[in-house]
Amino acid sequence: MPLFPASVVIREVGLRDGLQSIETILPTPQKIEWIADAYAAGQREIEVGSFVPARLLPQLADTAELVAYAKTLPGLVVSVLVPNLKGAERAIESQADVLLVPLSASRAHSLANLRKTPDEVVAEVARIRAARDAAGSKTLIEGGIGTAFGCTIQGAVEPREVLRCMQALLDAGADRVSLADTVGYANPAAVRDLFEKARRIAGDRLWCGHFHDTRGLALANVYAALGTGIARFDATLAGIGGCPHAPGASGNASSEDLAFMLADMGIETGIDIERLLALRAKVAQWLVNETLHGTLWLAGLPKTFPARSIRTLTL
């Protein structure tokens, strides 16, 4: 029998990875309503935005306001993405619980997307760690290694290089590291292989899996990562998103489909799926001009849900 985690956290990244990739700009009150409803549906980790210059991503310019609101919700872990020290200083000031620094293991993608080499990002993480410690802040630093399974610009990304970047991030002071299939190139065998190797390097500091459904494999990849003990996954409501610097990539793992898969497997997520589907319907109205993804909203929950638990199956 495979051993799966008894419970899994789905980190909602739709407000960041989702909204930064689409045309529609959601007004702040709608974003706050989204966060409130996600919280009411049981989601306890939300990446609410990015601390990047507003001229680059105007749709995320209200991130500080969203952190302030999200911090009022008891027990909610509030994440933000930051590309550099300046963003990290704003994140620390906002008292976000987690700041995620993206690093692209693909040098070509890193230069195109972040205008830095992977090692320059590592050096920035060391500066962020120093700033965090100097401020006496409790904000955790997560190094998010993207294009970990390949890159639309460079092509192959060697696992060896991904793991080297991971070790460097930890050495530079990242509290946690995560692996992201930024452009939808992963397959479940590659996921299993890389997450097993990453576990040997990072231990419990290996934190999160981030998969895109570009070629329909997001949930298969989650299942493969689950088997290596990963218990935290990024996902976006209605699967919105993709990387604006990775042509052809589209669609994160869908939060509601992932929540269903996990719950149906008998894994606790704390999420009320009916409520999450209601939120999806609401957000779909706000994003009426966007292409949305996912299957559960259309097919509905099975008649057997949630009575069956794999743990109780016996012959």
Residues taking part in catalysis? 243
Tokens of 181: 């299939």
Residues recorded for the chain:
315
Provide CB contacts within 8 A for 302, sequence distance 6+: 264
Report the nearest approach of its own copies to the CB of residue 104 (Å): 15
Q: Give the Cα separation of 107 and 116 in Å (integer).
A: 8
Residue 106 to residues 133, 144, 211, 212, Cα–Cα distance (Å)? 29, 13, 16, 17
Cβ proximity to its own copies: between 76 and 224 the closer is: 224
Q: Give the Cα separation of 220 and 47 in Å (integer).
A: 23
Report the nearest approach of its own copies to the CB of residue 266 (Å): 7
Cross-strand bridge partners of residue 268: 7
Report the nearest approach of its own copies to the CB of residue 308 (Å): 6
Cβ proximity to its own copies: between 169 and 190 the closer is: 190
Report the nearest approach of its own copies to the CB of residue 155 (Å): 4
Report the nearest approach of its own copies to the CB of residue 253 (Å): 10
Residues forming the site for its own copies (CB under 8 A): 1-2, 4, 150-152, 155-156, 159-160, 163, 183-185, 187-190, 192-193, 196-197, 213-217, 219-220, 222-224, 227, 248-250, 254, 257, 260-261, 264-266, 294-296, 299-300, 302-304, 307-308, 310, 313, 315
Report the nearest approach of its own copies to the CB of residue 148 (Å): 12
Nearest alpha-carbon partner for 245 in 122, 120, 151, 118: 151
Cβ proximity to its own copies: between 115 and 308 the closer is: 308
Cβ proximity to its own copies: between 27 and 302 the closer is: 302
